[in-house]
Amino acid sequence: MNNVFKVEIINPEKSFLSKEDVAEVVVPAFEGDMGILKDHISIISFLKPGLVKVIDTASNDETYYVEDGIIEFKNNCLSILTSNIFDIKKIDKNKVRDILAKAEQEYQNQEISDEAKYLVNHKIEVLKSLTLN
């Protein structure tokens, strides 16, 4: 296929995902949700808490939750480095609720910076959407 590129998602434990036949990836970048297609300009960006959607050539999609990370797209290869990632189809709802409870507790911390508060608030919104599904 002409319109495919490679994606690699890596976390500290292992290479989480490696696919050669990706048509599009949507990432939760600080600039907003960003769609990456073949021949996208080279880019490096930070991730905020949110959902990474990987779409293959048959329009099948896989969705993953990330808390943070860095993306780099260069020479039709997208690398995503993240400290925490999970497949939303395979995650236990109780684990999501636990992460949500910790985030809500962190949000109540009076000593948290405005930037950290913004990120935690966004994380809470995304986690709440996962528990409702």
> What is the average pLDDT across 4-10?
96
Same domain, 37 and 52: yes
9: confidence class by pLDDT, cuts 50, 70, 90: very high
What is the rounded CA–CA span in Å between residue 83 and residue 34? Answer: 20
Judge contact between 26 and 40, C-beta under 8 A.
no
The count of domains in the chain is: 2
- DSSP annotation string for 45-84: EEE-SEEEEEEETTS-EEEEEESSEEEEEETTEEEEE-S-
Same domain, 21 and 64: yes
* Environment class of 45 (CB within 10 Å of its CB; exposed 0-12, middle 13-18, buried 19+): middle
Judge contact between 61 and 55, C-beta under 8 A.
yes
Same domain, 11 and 71: yes
Same domain, 44 and 105: no
- Greater confidence (90 vs 73) lies with 73
The pLDDT value recorded for residue 122 is 87
The mean-pLDDT minimum among 17-21, 84-88, 91-95, 129-133 falls in 129-133
Same domain, 124 and 68: no
The pLDDT value recorded for residue 115 is 87
Same domain, 43 and 75: yes
The DSSP symbol for 110 reads: T
Per-residue pLDDT tens over the stretch 27-40: 999 888 999 999 99
Same domain, 99 and 36: no
Per-residue pLDDT tens over the stretch 37-68: 999 999 999 999 999 999 998 888 999 999 99
133: confidence class by pLDDT, cuts 50, 70, 90: low
Q: Tell whether pTM > 0.85.
A: yes
- Quote the domain boundaries for residue 80: 5-87
Same domain, 128 and 63: no
Under DSSP, is residue 109 helix (H, G, I), strand (E, B) or coil? Answer: coil
What is the rounded CA–CA span in Å between residue 113 and residue 65? Answer: 23
Per-residue pLDDT tens over the stretch 80-116: 999 989 898 888 888 888 889 999 999 998 898 998 8
Same domain, 78 and 15: yes
Same domain, 25 and 56: yes
